[in-house]
């Protein structure tokens, strides 16, 4: 029997606010242990949590960017469970009235566009961090992260392959980057993912028994963990066994999932409305205000690049997925660059250079206006495309504008016929073989001669002019 996986993902994202969700401690990542803590986030008795307005606005912005509806009435609830990294013994979260619901994102798969539903988006607070390694006496706790604002985005079980799971996560990440609500760094834990996975016979509409997978620390580990878990469940089913509803942890090193928390303990959270926090009423005016502040989102930008600038879909996607690169492109175009030329330069030469140097666009000195100027120099035939590649490298490292580089290095293209004729004559004299071939009718031998002439002028000859002059000399019409 062929099986298909049914996957839903729960994504936690830390919001980039200055202060925590319910107190005014710093929400900054890191810091010396237990220096961003106060009675509220340490869960001391008698304290009063007060929500961070910006975190609420960010949760709304994220909801709208994911096509969610905003709840006109929402509230905070206590999720009760014991864990040492959570000092209150409950987490403030949202249970039955999440701030956002019924959204979706579109991912692009080999089989075309797929819409993945978003069931809900709710606000909550992060837990502290525990350290176990290398400590014999016990575990160490740092509560700097406790109370940092989080949103949890819960997808519908619409994902059918491990690849789709990865694409979905990448899409969520890109959208969050665009909205600016989070820096979404998986390596720093500001974006985290748990998965719910079950198997069912292909074509069936029933759902199998669900297993939750935790501890996946990269897009790749999500993909690997789902592939592993689907294979494990399939072999259990094929040998006549039954899937146990449980939570399993992904072991990156061994490449396996293993059973963790016992099921009686899990999912018995006894939620109730937090009496310390009053409900939120969100009117249309507030929603509209947040919506107006939404920046252009990845899908809109993609459409603009393809429809207005006629960029190939692949190029548009590469640009859109890199916020800094897309911003660079937009600025170059705004400064007057031809969009297609700008995209080509960014996609090929600039990306190649950045990859080679292991740097991001903000770490090299080229500015968008430099690219515009470079393209202009080519279009005006001041320099050849080949020379422009060298100029680009120079600009990236020195931050000088292309015109100055061209002037300083004497790279201006030779467009003066008389200056080229002498060099062309020398090339012909030095290459009797190809000259003979050409004259015997092998007209494409001229390609080699043009190359030699370009070399002799160190790339400064205008290639079209070089071609013309050689042809005229060879045909004896000069």
Partner 1 sequence: MSISAGEVRHVAELARMALSDHEVEELSAQLSRILDHMETLRELPTDDVEPTAHVLPIRNVWRQDTVGESLPPDAALANAPERRGNYFLVPKIVER
For partner 1, the binding residue among 240, 275, 410, 432 (CB under 8 A) is: 275
Chain centre distance of CA 303: 17
Query: Residue 224 Cβ, how far from partner 1 at the closest point, in Å?
Result: 20
Give the residue with the Cβ less far from partner 1, 248 or 301: 248
Residues 65-124 binding partner 1 (CB under 8 A) are: 73, 75, 80, 82-85, 97
Kindly report the length of the chain.
478
- How many residues line the site for partner 1 (CB under 8 A)? 57
The number of beta carbons lying within 10 Å of the beta carbon of residue 242 is: 9
Give the residue with the Cβ less far from partner 1, 160 or 214: 214
Q: Is residue 231 part of the contact set for partner 1 (CB under 8 A)?
A: no
Query: Residue 283 Cβ, how far from partner 1 at the closest point, in Å?
Result: 10
> DSSP 3-state assignment of 345?
helix
For partner 1, the binding residue among 2, 53, 292, 422 (CB under 8 A) is: 53
- Provide DSSP, 359-426: --GGGS---HHHHHHHHHHHHTTSS-HHHHHHHHHHHHHH---HHHHHHHHT---B--HHHHHHHHHH
The strand pairing partners of 129, in sequence order, are: 142
For partner 1, the binding residue among 24, 202, 238, 436 (CB under 8 A) is: 24
The CA distance from 22 to 86, in Å, is 14
Give the residue with the Cβ less far from partner 1, 17 or 198: 17
Q: Is residue 270 part of the contact set for partner 1 (CB under 8 A)?
A: yes
Q: Is residue 35 part of the contact set for partner 1 (CB under 8 A)?
A: yes
Q: Is residue 344 part of the contact set for partner 1 (CB under 8 A)?
A: no
Q: Is residue 43 part of the contact set for partner 1 (CB under 8 A)?
A: no
CA atoms within 13 A on the CB side of 382: 16
Q: Is residue 139 part of the contact set for partner 1 (CB under 8 A)?
A: yes
Q: Which two tokens stand for residue 379?
A: 């279009």
DSSP state of 445: G
Q: Is residue 256 part of the contact set for partner 1 (CB under 8 A)?
A: no
Query: Residue 372 Cβ, how far from partner 1 at the closest point, in Å?
Result: 37
Interface segment toward partner 1; rule CB under 8 A; list 15-23, 104-112, 156-164, 364-372: 15-23
Q: Choose among 127, 149, 140, 126: nearest CA to 50.
A: 149
The number of beta carbons lying within 10 Å of the beta carbon of residue 224 is: 19
For partner 1, the binding residue among 111, 132, 292, 422 (CB under 8 A) is: 132
Q: Which helix (H) or strand (E) segment is 107 a member of? A: strand 100-109
> DSSP 3-state assignment of 53?
helix
Could you list the residues that contact partner 1 (CB under 8 A)? 17-19, 24-26, 32-39, 42, 50-56, 73, 75, 80, 82-85, 97, 130-132, 135, 137-143, 249, 258-261, 264-265, 268, 270, 273, 275, 277-281
């Amino acid at each position: 029997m062929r099986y298909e996986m049914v996957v839903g993902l729960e994504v936690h994202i830390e919001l980039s606010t200055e202060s925590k969700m319910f107190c005014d401690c710093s929400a900054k990542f890191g810091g010396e242990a237990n220096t961003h803590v106060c009675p509220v986030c340490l869960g001391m008795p008698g304290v009063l949590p007060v929500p961070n307005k910006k975190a609420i606005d960010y949760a709304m912005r994220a909801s709208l960017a994911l096509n969610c509806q905003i709840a006109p009435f929402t509230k905070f609830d206590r999720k009760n469970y014991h864990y040492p990294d959570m000092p209150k013994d409950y987490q403030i979260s949202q249970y039955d009235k999440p701030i956002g619901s019924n959204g979706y994102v579109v991912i692009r798969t080999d089989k075309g566009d797929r819409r993945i539903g978003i069931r809900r988006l709710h606000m909550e607070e992060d837990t502290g961090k525990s350290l176990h390694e290398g400590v014999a006496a016990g575990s160490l706790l740092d509560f700097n992260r406790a109370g940092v604002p989080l949103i949890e985005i819960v997808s519908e079980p619409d994902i059918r392959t491990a690849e789709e799971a990865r694409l979905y996560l990448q899409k969520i990440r890109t959208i969050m980057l665009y909205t600016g609500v989070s820096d979404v760094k998986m390596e720093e834990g500001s974006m985290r993912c748990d998965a719910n996975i079950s198997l069912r016979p292909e074509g069936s509409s029933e759902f199998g028994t669900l297993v939750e997978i935790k501890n996946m620390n990269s897009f790749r580990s999500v993909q690997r963990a789902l592939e592993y878990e689907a294979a494990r469940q399939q072999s259990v089913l094929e040998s006549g066994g039954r899937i146990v509803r449980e939570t399993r942890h992904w072991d990156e090193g061994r490449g396996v999932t293993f059973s963790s928390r016992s099921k009686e303990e899990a999912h018995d959270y006894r939620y109730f409305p937090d009496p310390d926090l009053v409900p939120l009423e969100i009117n249309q005016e507030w929603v509209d205000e947040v919506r107006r502040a939404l920046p252009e989102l990845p899908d809109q930008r993609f459409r603009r690049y393809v429809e207005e600038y006629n960029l190939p879909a692949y190029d548009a996607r590469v640009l859109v997925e890199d916020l800094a690169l897309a911003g660079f492109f937009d600025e170059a175009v705004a400064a007057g660059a031809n969009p297609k030329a700008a995209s080509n330069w960014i996609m090929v030469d600039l990306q190649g250079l950045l990859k080679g140097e292991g740097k991001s666009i903000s770490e090299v000195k080229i500015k968008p206006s430099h690219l515009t100027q470079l393209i202009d120099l080519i279009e005006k035939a001041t320099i050849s495309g080949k020379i422009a590649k060298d100029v680009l490298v120079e600009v990236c490292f020195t931050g000088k504008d292309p015109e100055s580089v061209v002037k300083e290095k004497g790279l201006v293209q030779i467009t003066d016929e008389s200056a080229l004729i002498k060099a062309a004559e020398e090339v012909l004299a030095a290459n009797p073989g190809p000259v003979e071939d050409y004259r015997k009718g092998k007209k494409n031998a001229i390609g080699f001669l043009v190359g030699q002439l370009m070399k002799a002028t160190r790339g400064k000859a205008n290639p079209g002019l070089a071609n013309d002059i050689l042809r005229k000399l060879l045909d004896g019409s000069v």
